[in-house]
Structure 1
């Protein structure tokens, strides 16, 4: 592995169940993450994914790739367009730097509206790298 290497993409179908379950699991009871009528009343066409679910999916993407010994050390992500039910988010990653057992990966999650999440994640690879 070296800087510039690309990780294989991961397609994640964005279902209503994923959005609601992620909000419940992260104890985010904001109505826009589980109640379509409330979301519409607040200007959204439907419920949408919360940042904690997105953060978990980014972590899953990287640990699935680097293996069970990989440990997330720093996650710096920013949300863009929402993830709505019925869309698909495609996560991609590019290795930006390798220093000892640390890897920094640039991550992008895109859906039909554009970039849902962008950022960088630093992982300690341990014996997995």
Structure 2
């Protein structure tokens, strides 16, 4: 496979629902009430229940591994959490949109992919990059 700077990955859109949060909490053993208890989330200053940051990050990783077709080709992945994904208590949830672009092709055969994650028109992951082979 050959890549060039500027190549775009197929976009990924994910509806994050409260049900998805419960499933993720069980898998990750992260039962922090800000991810399931609206009253508690508001008491600590949040607008509502928010998605787990690591769930949002994992979905960004999925953008890359879906594109690669082989998750073992993902060598590094990191980001900063810049904004929460607020998940309403309805069947629709919160739409999170992921895009990616090749930012650098390196001499060693690896490629840096720059990932953008947006919720409600705003970026929720900062400096999200993956290195792939």
Same structural fold, with TM-score higher than 0.5 when normalized by the shorter chain: yes
- Equivalent of 2:129 in 112, 115, 120: 120
* Contact kept in structure 2, 1:19 and 1:50, CA below 8 Å: yes
TM-fit CA distance, 1:69: 5.6
Deviations 1:48-99 (A, max 9, x none): 1112212211111111011126422111201122112232111000101122
Deviations 1:15-37 (A, max 9, x none): 11122222221111211012111
- Count of matched residue pairs: 124
Equivalence for 1:91: 98
Find the aligned partners of 1:38 and 1:78 in 2 and give their Cα distance.
24
The unaligned stretches of length 5 or more in structure 1 are 125-129
Find the aligned partners of 1:76 and 1:58 in 2 and give their Cα distance.
10
- Equivalent of 2:54 in 52, 55, 62: 52
Find the aligned partners of 1:113 and 1:43 in 2 and give their Cα distance.
21
Equivalence for 2:14: 12
* Contact kept in structure 1, 2:7 and 2:101, CA below 8 Å: yes
State whether structure 2 residue 82 is matched by structure 1 residue 73.
no
Q: Which one has the bigger strand percentage?
A: 1
Following TM superposition, where does structure 1 have runs of at least 4 consecutive aligned residues deviating by more than 3 angstroms? none
* Contact kept in structure 1, 2:77 and 2:129, CA below 8 Å: yes
SS of residue in 2 equivalent to 1:44: coil
Which is further off, 66-75 or 76-85?
A: 66-75
TM-score normalized by the length of structure 2:
0.84
TM-fit CA distance, 1:122: 0.7
Q: Indicate how the Cα distance of structure 1 residues 113 and 40 shifts in structure 2: closer, same or farther if over 3 A, else same.
A: farther
